[in-house]
Homo-oligomer: A and B are copies of this chain.
Amino acid sequence: MPSLERYQRKLDYSYAPGLFPTMEALLKRPETVRRVLVAEKAAGEGIEKLRALCAEKAIRMETADRVLRNLSGKENCFSAAVVRKENRPLTGDRHVVLHHISDHGNLGTIMRTALGLGIRDLAVIRPAADMWDPHVIRASMGAAFSLNLREYPDFDAYLEDCGDRPLYPFMLTSSVSLEEGSMRAGNRFALIFGNEGTGLPEAFAALGQPVRIPQTADVDSLNLSIAAAIGMYAFTRAVEQKARRKGENTDGE
Chain A positions within 8 Å of B, measured between CB atoms, are 109, 112-113, 115-118, 141, 143, 146, 179, 213-216, 218-223, 225-226, 229-230, 233-234, 237, 241
What residues of chain B lie closer than 8 Å to A241, measured between beta carbons? Answer: 179
A117 to B143, CA, bound (A): 28
What residues of chain B lie closer than 8 Å to A141, measured between beta carbons? Answer: 219-220
A220 to B113, CA, bound (A): 11
What residues of chain B lie closer than 8 Å to A219, measured between beta carbons? Answer: 112, 115-116, 141, 143
What residues of chain B lie closer than 8 Å to A214, measured between beta carbons? Answer: 237
A247 to B253, CA, bound (A): 33
What residues of chain B lie closer than 8 Å to A229, measured between beta carbons? Answer: 222, 226, 229-230
Q: From A217, which residue of chain B is reached at the shortest CB distance?
A: B116
Q: Judge whether A115 and B226 touch: CB under 8 Å.
A: no
Q: Judge whether A218 and B115 touch: CB under 8 Å.
A: yes
What residues of chain B lie closer than 8 Å to A218, measured between beta carbons? Answer: 115-116, 143, 146
Choice from B116, B146, B223 contacting A113 with Cβ under 8 Å:
B223
Can you list 9 A-B contacts (CB < 8 A)? A115-B218, A116-B216, A116-B219, A143-B218, A179-B237, A179-B241, A222-B229, A225-B225, A233-B233
